[in-house]
Structure 1
Amino acid sequence: MALDEWTFYVTGKSLSDTKLLAKVREFDVIVDEPAEIGGTDEGPNPVEYLLVALAGCLNVTIRGVAGEKGIPVKALDLAITGKLDPAKFQGISKEGRAGFTEVTVSVYLEADAPKEKIEELLREVEERCPVTDNLKNATPLRIVLKE
């Protein structure tokens, strides 16, 4: 059975050189830069939000796959580190991509299952989490000018 594609929608209003007010469903979200690089530090920056999206996606996917496999989750903690070379973003380099150079996810998963089953579960999660897939495979992006 084929499922219909899901569509997600976010709007944003630029408030300054570093700050954006985004609307996600009925939620207002501030995106900003730290004060030390010219922002007002009123919210996470876009890169940090991407890591939050990854953490949220992994939480849902890990718990979903564990449920499918009959593995009860007792505790789940995630720690994510993303490394970014700002040279492309800042225009210093014209080569390579502007994305993360490395993302490391540390997962603490307490569950009633042997370690091999947990590792198998995590491999499946990596394949099924949409945010992980986007980070790894760079989903095509289209930017158009709105008239």
Structure 2
Amino acid sequence: MAMETFKVQVTRANKPDEYQAAVRDFKVKLAPDSTGTVNAHEAILQALGACEAIVMASFNKQQNFTYRSFYYTLEGLKSPAAQRPGMERIGVAVHFDTDESKQKCQDFMTFAENTCPVMDNLTNTVPVKRTGVVVTA
């Protein structure tokens, strides 16, 4: 099976310290301290919540799990005194509107966590390699 490649391009937007991430026809504005954009920590939380939600929506029938609806709440905690730039902890809760038991809901959430590529990348070391630097005049 051939490797699959995913690509995102990040460019500077119109304002200083504001950037735009683009993948296919989708764009997200990012900035470190702006109420009108998403910061990097929030983008990670968005990606994790969306990934697990997609897993749940894609596999609920296969896992024999029924629900009327669900939503995620995610919180990333970062201390101003932290020695590293990333978050120290991420809390994830899923809220189901379902007739399933609490144990079955927990089992389905565990399945989603174990199937979600974003969770896998957050919890397992993934090599990141710079593939080049281009200087334009």
Aligning the two structures, in what range does the TM-score lie when normalised by the shorter sequence? 0.7 to 0.9
- Give how far 1:138 is off: 3.2
Structure 1 residues 62-77: aligned runs within 5 Å? 62-77=56-71
TM-score (norm 1): 0.77
Q: Which residue of 2 aligns with 1:38?
A: none
Letter in 2 for 1:83: L
- Counterpart of 2:107 (choices 114, 117, 120) is 120
Q: Secondary structure at the match of 1:71?
A: coil
Unpaired segments ≥5 residues, structure 2: none
Q: Secondary structure at the match of 1:77?
A: strand
Cα RMSD for the two superposed structures = 2.1
- Give how far 1:24 is off: 1.3
Q: Output one character per residue of 1:69-95: Cα deviation in whole Å (capped at 9) or x when no partner.
A: 22222110111000124556xxxx4xx
Q: Secondary structure at the match of 1:100?
A: coil
Matched, 1:47 2:41: yes
Letter in 2 for 1:9: K
Q: Output one character per residue of 1:23-77: Cα deviation in whole Å (capped at 9) or x when no partner.
A: 2111232111224xxxxx4311111111111111011112223221222221101
**Percent identity for Structure 1 against Structure 2:** 25
- Give how far 1:14 is off: 2.4
Unpaired segments ≥5 residues, structure 1: 36-40
Matched, 1:26 2:20: no
Letter in 2 for 1:31: L
**CA contact under 8 A between 2:94 and 2:109: conserved in structure 1?**
no
Aligned length: 133
Matched, 1:8 2:28: no
- Counterpart of 1:102 (choices 76, 89, 100) is 89
